[in-house]
Structure 1
Amino acid sequence: MDFRSAINLDDFRAIARRKLPRIAFDFIEGGADDEHCLQRNRDAFQQYRLLPRYLVDVSERDQSTVLLGRRYASPFGISPTGLAGLFCPDADVLLAQAAAAANVPFLLSSAANGSLEDVVRAAPEHVWFQMYCTRDEAINADLVRRARAAGVRVLVVSVDVPVNSNRERNRRNGFSRPFRMTPGVVLEALAHPAWVLRYLRTGGIPMMRNWQPYGPAGANAAQVADLYGTLTPAPMVSWGHLQRIREAWPGPLVVKGLLHPDDARQATRLGADALVVSNHGGRQLDAAPSPLEMLPAIRAAVGDDTELILDSGVRRGSDIVIARCLGAKAALFGRPTLFAAAAGGRAGIDRALQIVRNEVDMVLAQIGCRAFDSLHRGYLWPATADRQPAAPQAAPAPVLQAAQHETA
């Protein structure tokens, strides 16, 4: 199958699996421990059904939404993903450009191969910068400074990696620091000659350019990656680190990776403008709940003023609609866009984003909702077998009115 014939996000995964060596595919696909959390993230969406309303004029639909003061064309964005250049040359720039063309946000990982300065220049209005706090306070402060100087509007601080997790696929494949192409890895990779040739032609492991300034002069990619490994994770990171970032950052601040309602409250008290409810795509704590499970409790904890974004396990437009009904303003996904980049480069990413956009539009029409921002819990029906739901409640008068005469 060629990426141009992909009809859903999982098709890109299948194409990428054929194109990438196992060590690279498993790095994208894998999770922590037994990978139960990966399945839990998907299963959570099956706990809800979308309850359609018919005889509503849905000849025009609007899936745009406002996030942190900016209107985007669709209610989704691209999650931060590290080492994307290993799967597709210049992947970070391509992801940013595709996001800009679709008018959705791209969260650039500090563990990216492209530098924040270069990627922001490629898509200045659509790049949010995601950072981890390191063991070095001076570097933390400098990352914030660089984001300001580059013109980044939204800063995202990920807090859910206090220590490295047990990613068994990576360990079995030898994907660890320091990274070395062992004979076994090379032998398996030869079944994917296009990737091997590209890997050799581009000089091997790509440089983590955000960290290059903090290494010794002339450091190669492996040395910079090892430096990153000494700086992160940082188990001593606390609320004080977040407070210092808030004091230094004048723009919108997003905290990513919270699952506990009390943590969500504390983050908003310290000035977080939005939260990404996430379990790191099942890559950190295998026993963690799914973000969708925790979304209603976090919404109740922070009230209506804090914007919530769902991350982890999103694979369909219907997932994004369900998340909105439970209180999220938008959703993020990362693995599918990496697979799309591996499958077709920039054109593959464009197609993946268009597929999700089309799915959101179709679902809105199917359930009788003309505007994404008009979604509410009245469109949901619980699927839990051992629980009999109450009869659907009539929507409040303003919502019913909007369903009949929406102008959004």
Structure 2
Amino acid sequence: MSIFNVNPVTVDDYRRLAERRLPRFLFDYLDGGANAEASLAANVNDFDNYRLVQRVLRNVDGIDTSTTIAGFDAAMPVTLAPVGMAGMYRRRGETQGARAADAVGVPYTVSTLGICPVEEIIAATGKPIWFQLYMLRDRDVVQSLLARAQAAGCTTLVFTVDLPVAGMRLRDYRNGMIGTNLASKLSKAAQLATSPCWAYDVGIKGKPHTIGNLDKVVPDPDDLNAVKAFIDSQFDPRCTWEDIAWLRSIWSGKIIIKGLMEVDDAKAAVDVGADGIVVSNHGARQLDSVASSISKLPAIAKAVGKQTEILVDGGIRSGIDVVKAVALGANGVMIGRPWVYANAARGEQGVTDLLTTFQKEIATAMALMGVTSIDQITSDLIEA
């Protein structure tokens, strides 16, 4: 049966639709990981190493999936992760993602490298969002980005710390996304020609294609190659824990540190006053052959779970995965690829529908595990 005749339900359904709709270089940029992509597969597959415990004859009337994440009253322990250039996957994609998150009742995080600026996204919902930051060499640019985010109404800063340099994402070399030579240009032109729906929706109707939050600091914000060159030159390998104190001095909201995989780093984040951490290997887009995020979660939760909020991202593909993450010690999860697959495939409604499915899966799992609230999902309900 053709995928076009199937009503998408799972993340994989939306992924296949997105692959059919998008130019190859854009799909690969979203879908791919670093080097041989061993960690990319592990992020997903390692959830199978854990089994939930089913319990019967409990009163499970009145299931409540709601929780609080970084002060946000969320309908379930899920947040939409920051995804660079999400607006290239659907017309003004960040605004569509934010509206879907608002409709379901979960936090939305915009990337430093989003197409839509913070002002446009917040205007689309009238609600605060979270802002993700990469540390840049030019600290004046960082200050201007944070001042702009706060002025627009962003409440929480997600500071990504696992990108002192960009990982080796070999798919981007293979499909011509990285490169400005004639072969790369011809390859991308051929791929664009096979994606007419995307070309109309995003290529024509989705302009401007600038990195919206950098439009005042990049010399030529309309040239994505120029923006990439600027960003590549600005990633700061000198950034250390001492820079967190400086961030705290210029940001009045909560700070969540994203990209931690080891207990010592999690303890260091607590020591510098982080309001939360994200156990993450950057969607396996940075260092290949690193462990999966979910496999690192239990030890980190045991070490610092009573001292700070813990989120985890990487490989979450269902509400069942969300329940497993909570049972292993997370306060919630971040999902990146899943919501962008859904947005690319079916727009805002696709994201809303996918999140609704996640919530139903969480509620059903809770009922069959004999619990009625998120705080009842504990380590005794999971087996390794």
Mark yes or no: TM-score above 0.5: yes
Please say if residues 309 and 332 of structure 1, whose CA atoms lie closer than 8 Å, have aligned partners that are also in contact: yes
Number of the residue aligned with 1:196: 199
Q: Would the alpha carbon gap of residues 267 and 291 (structure 1) be closer, same or farther in structure 2, given more than 3 Å must change?
A: same
Residues 1-10 or 139-148, more deviating: 1-10
Q: Give the stretch that moved more between structures: 223-232 or 275-284.
A: 223-232
* Residue pair 1:337, 1:352 contacting (<8 A) in 2 also: yes
Letter in 2 for 1:379: L
| Bigger Cα Rg | 1
Are 1:355 and 2:357 counterparts? yes
Counterpart Cα distance in 1 of 2:306 and 2:268: 15
From 374, 379, 382, the equivalent of 1:380 is 382
The alpha carbon displacement at 1:222 in A equals: 3.0
Residue 211 of structure 2 contacts residue 221 of structure 2 at CA under 8 Å; is this kept in 1? Answer: no
Residues 1:265 and 2:292 aligned together:
no
Give secondary structure in 1 for the equivalent of 2:274: coil
Residues 186-232 of structure 1 show CA distances to partners (whole Å, capped at 9, x for unaligned) of 2233222222334542487811011110123x652336514532443
Partner Cα separation in structure 1 for residue 120 and residue 311 of structure 2: 26
Q: What is the 5 A alignment of 1:9-48?
A: 9-48=11-50
**Structure 2 CA distance for partners of 1:212 and 1:3, relative to 1, 3 Å:** farther
Q: Which moved more, 1:144-153 or 1:27-36?
A: 144-153
Q: In the TM superposition, what are the counterparts of 1:331-342 in structure 2 within 5 Å?
A: 331-342=333-344
| Distance in 2 of aligned mates of 1:90 and 1:35 | 29
Sequence identity percentage: 34
**What is the CA RMSD across the aligned residues, in angstroms?**
2.0
Structure 2 unaligned residues grouped into runs of 5+: none
One-letter code aligned to 1:331: V
Distance of 1:15 and 1:136 partners within structure 2 = 40
Q: What whole-Å deviation, never above 9, does each CA across 1:217-264 have from its counterpart, x for those lacking one?
A: x65233651453244322111112222001221211100001111111
Q: Which residue of 2 aligns with 1:91?
A: 93
Q: Which one-letter code corresponds to 2:210 in the other structure?
A: M
Residues 61 and 364, structure 1, Cα contact 8 Å, conserved in 2: yes
Cα separation, 2, equivalents of 1:367 and 1:271: 35
- Per the alignment, residue 72 of structure 2 pairs with 70
* Structure 1 residues 300 and 240: CA distance shift in structure 2, 3 A: same
The residue number in structure 2 matching 1:132 is 134
CA contact (8 A) 2:366 2:372 kept: yes
Alpha-carbon contact 1:3-1:15 (below 8 Å) kept: no
The CA deviation at 1:353 is 0.9
Name the CA distance, whole Å, in 2 between partners of 1:3 and 1:364.
32
Q: Which secondary structure state, in structure 2, belongs to the residue aligned with residue 26 of structure 1?
A: helix
Give a deviation string over 1:42-82, Cα, whole Å, max 9, x none.
12211110011110111220110111223211110111001
User: Cα offset for 1:179?
Assistant: 9.2
Q: Report the CA distance between 1:289 and its aligned residue.
A: 1.1
Partner of 1:206: 209
Partner of residue 306 from structure 1, selected from 305, 308, 313: 308
Q: Is the 8 A contact 1:178 1:222 kept in 2?
A: no
- Of the structure 1 ranges 231-240 and 270-279, higher mean CA displacement relative to structure 2 is found in 231-240
Answer yes or no: is the 8 Å Cα contact 2:138–2:234 preserved in 1: no
Instruction: State the TM-score, normalized to the length of structure 2.
Output: 0.94
User: In structure 1, the residue corresponding to 2:56 is in which secondary structure?
Assistant: coil
Instruction: Map 1:2-401 to 2 at 5 A.
Output: 2=4, 5-176=7-178, 182-202=185-205, 206-216=209-219, 219-222=221-224, 225-226=227-228, 228-382=230-384
Query: Contact (CA 8 Å) 1:112, 1:208: kept in 2 or not?
Result: yes
How far off is 1:177 after superposition? Answer: 5.7
SS in 2 for 1:332: strand
Q: How many residues align?
A: 381
**SS state of the match for residue 349, structure 1?**
helix
8 Å contact from structure 1 (residues 3, 348) kept in 2: no
Mind listing any 5+ residue stretches in structure 1 that lack a counterpart? 383-408
In structure 2, C-alpha distance between the alignment counterparts of 1:56 and 1:147, rounded to whole Å: 46
Deviations 1:329-376 (A, max 9, x none): 111111111111111111111111111111111111121111122111
Distance 2:223 2:265 in 1: 36
Whether the 8 Å CA contact 1:26–1:169 is kept in 2: the answer is yes
Structure 1 residue 270 displacement after superposition: 0.9
Give the secondary structure class of the aligned counterpart of 1:163. coil
Q: Is the 8 A contact 2:129 2:153 kept in 1?
A: no
For the residue of structure 2 that corresponds to 1:214, the secondary structure is coil
* Secondary structure of 2:216's aligned partner: helix
DSSP-derived class of the 2:132 partner: strand
